[in-house]
Structure 1
Amino acid sequence: MTIQNNIQNILTRIDAACRRRGRDPDQVRLVAVSKTKPAGQIEEAARAGQQLFGESYVQEFTDKREEVKLPVTWHFIGHLQSNKVKYLRGKVSMIHSVDRLSLAEEINRQWQKIGETVDILLQVNLAEEASKSGATADATEELARRLAALPHVRLRGLMTLPPYCDNPQDVRPYFSQLRHLSERIAALNLPNVSMTELSMGMSHDFEVAVEEGATLVRIGTAIFGEREYR
């Protein structure tokens, strides 16, 4: 299968999952997770119509961004250290992995320097796994309140990485929980906060995520093949 065929297959499956829930497929965007993949494969995907790409490593992203000549949109989806934020400044349109106030404050400082704002998502560690980043569900509401006061970031929703399960149905409760948490935060009517995005679902479970309300699905393997480990 070619990258083009893989993308079309995923979009067809997203469409079917939306229709099962009476959702508009236009509400769901595919984030092609291109970490560890060469610029040539990103451009191949872009030529097939894919415009949104997600990267997880700051140095790899900054190098790759210079190599990719086609017009694409970049999201940063990996764990982010505060001292690396400056390298993303003005280069990504969304950061999915904001998990603490200090990181959001640094993002705010860096985008203030260029007089712009950036969309962010709060990463929530619903299962409270020690191996994964993310705020706890209990801390997320207060964190959202604090982020609302930062003028150069716009909180647009939540992201999660649920535990891996062989049966995608087993992670449905986590996706449902994230949706309900998002709805609770939206009900607070915080300034500069609009909970319109749910970043959840990857290659093995994205259809369940879409059924539960995902608006951004992060898919790498099903597009590009198995990951090439760094």
Structure 2
Amino acid sequence: MSIAANLQLIHQRIDAACRRAGRDPKSVRLLAVSKTKPAAMIEEAARAGQFLFGENYVQEFCAKAEVVQAPVEWHFIGALQSNKVKYLRGKVALIHSVDRLSLAQEISRQWQRLEKPANILLEVNLGAEASKAGSDAAGLAELAGQVSLLPGVRVRGLMAIPPWEADPEQVRPYFRRLRQLAAELAGQGLPNLEMAELSMGMSHDFEVAIEEGATLVRVGTAIFGERQR
């Protein structure tokens, strides 16, 4: 199937999941995960109406951002080293993977040069997996409180990559927990913090994520095919 056909099918699945959950389909945005995919495929997806693209690697993102001519919006969703933040400054609309105060501080410093705050999500490691980044649930409130005081960032919500399960229903409790954590943070009245976004769900489980409140679903394989590396 073509990228356009894949996108059409995914949007149909998003709409169906929203109907099951009693949600407006416009409340869910599709983020096309374009890591390892060439600029030509991004352009093809853009011609089919896809606007949001997520990249995982700073160097790869910078190279693509220079050559992609379509008016797309870039998100950064991968692990991010503080010394690489400067390369993203002003080029990405949302950073999904802020998992520690030192990283948020560097983002704040870099975006203050633009006199415009960076929009970020706090990443939560719900499965306590050593192989994954993210704050643990117990430390999230403290991290959010510290980050919310930084002048150059705005916390827009939370992101999580739950443990992989073949049956998406097994992941539902993690998605539900992220929504609960967001509600708890929203009730604290922290400055510069709004729990408007829940970035959760990927190609094999995004429908369950939508049913549990996702506003951004990160889909790569189901759009572009299997990874090339």
Give TM class, smaller chain: over 0.9
CA distance in 2, matches of 1:156, 1:144: 11
| Runs (5+) with no aligned partner, structure 2 | none
Aligned to 1:121: 121
Secondary structure, aligned partner of 1:7: helix
CA distance in 2, matches of 1:187, 1:21: 23
Aligned to 2:90: 90
CA RMSD in angstroms comes to 0.5
**Residue-by-residue CA offset, 1:66-112 (whole Å, 9 max, x unaligned):** 11011100000000000000000000010000000000000000001
Aligned to 1:139: 139
CA distance in 1, matches of 2:144, 2:24: 27
- How far apart are 1:203 and its partner, in Å? 0.1
- How far apart are 1:193 and its partner, in Å? 0.6
Aligned to 1:196: 196
Moved more, 142-151 or 29-38: 142-151
- How far apart are 1:202 and its partner, in Å? 0.2
Aligned to 1:65: 65
1:37 aligned onto 2:7: no
CA distance in 2, matches of 1:218, 1:151: 28
- How far apart are 1:118 and its partner, in Å? 1.2
Identity %: 67
Count of residues paired in the alignment: 229
**Residue-by-residue CA offset, 1:25-74 (whole Å, 9 max, x unaligned):** 10000000000000000000000000000000000000000110111000
**Residue-by-residue CA offset, 1:124-161 (whole Å, 9 max, x unaligned):** 00111000000000111111111111121100100000
Report the TM-score when normalising by structure 1: 0.99
1:219 aligned onto 2:219: yes
Secondary structure, aligned partner of 1:173: helix
Residue type at the aligned position of 2:196: T
- How far apart are 1:189 and its partner, in Å? 1.2
Aligned to 2:77: 77
Secondary structure, aligned partner of 2:121: strand
Matches within 5 A, 1:146-185: 146-185=146-185
- How far apart are 1:116 and its partner, in Å? 1.4
Report the TM-score when normalising by structure 2: 0.99
Aligned to 1:105: 105
